[in-house]
Amino acid sequence: MQFTYEPVDADEARRQRAIYEPFTRAVRELLDATIRTEVGAEDIAAAQASIEAVTARLRAKQLDGPFGVRFTTEGQGMSWGNPVVGVRNPMAPPLTIEHGAEKCWTEFELGAAYEGPPDHVHGGISALILDHLLGEAASAGGSTPLFTGTISLRYLRGTPLGPLRSEAWIERVDGVKTYARGFISDAEGPTVEAEGVFIKPAWARDPQ
């Protein structure tokens, strides 16, 4: 696994973010409109032609592969392509995760793109978010990557689309294994609970 991009100067990271973040937000809006639109075939054909032209322009200069995980010179992670938190990934809500002394948490809103049962969040989207948040709690926002070993989810009731909250915290640490727990809740309380074991990869462990 390649974590070895040249670190990006913090000013340069800010400059890039100012360009790409509003652009990605516009694509996120388009994604929602793509699902919900009821305009006719002619409008759709015109929209498709415009989008194909934009894509061609963007692809004139692009990375050969995916975005990867990069760091600033100050050690800040730049997971900009990440499907949960990536500010350059239109499929990410994206979550902004807050870190406290004992837990991390995030407040966010999920719309049409995340629907499973009618008006409710797809169960797998809850799993996606909790996997990410528990992993973030387990690594305590640190720059050492941890990988999910196992994760179990218990669905208490349907999670409605709309404003939601998620929290996660470390339960205990046992050698290279970190046990984390968390939940997603709406205004009425928790809807999904999760527990997971996160593992420090062999290459990131202290030498014996």
CA distances from 194 to 13, 74, 85, 93, 108 (A): 33, 32, 19, 20, 18
Radius of gyration (C-alpha) of the chain in whole angstroms: 19
Contact 141, 153 (CB under 8 A): no
- Residue closer to a second copy, measured from CB, 3 or 101: 3
CB of 172 to a second copy, least distance (A): 19
- Residue closer to a second copy, measured from CB, 101 or 170: 170
CB of 101 to a second copy, least distance (A): 25
- Residue closer to a second copy, measured from CB, 47 or 101: 47
CB of 199 to a second copy, least distance (A): 9
CB of 60 to a second copy, least distance (A): 6
- Residue closer to a second copy, measured from CB, 73 or 117: 117
CB of 145 to a second copy, least distance (A): 6
> Which amino acid belongs to residue 108?
F
For residues 69-99, b (16+ Cβ closer than 10 Å) or e, as one string? bbbbeeeebbbbbbebbbbbbbebbbbebee
Q: What is the dihedral of CA 36, 129, 8, 146, to 10 degrees?
A: -160
- Residue closer to a second copy, measured from CB, 77 or 169: 77
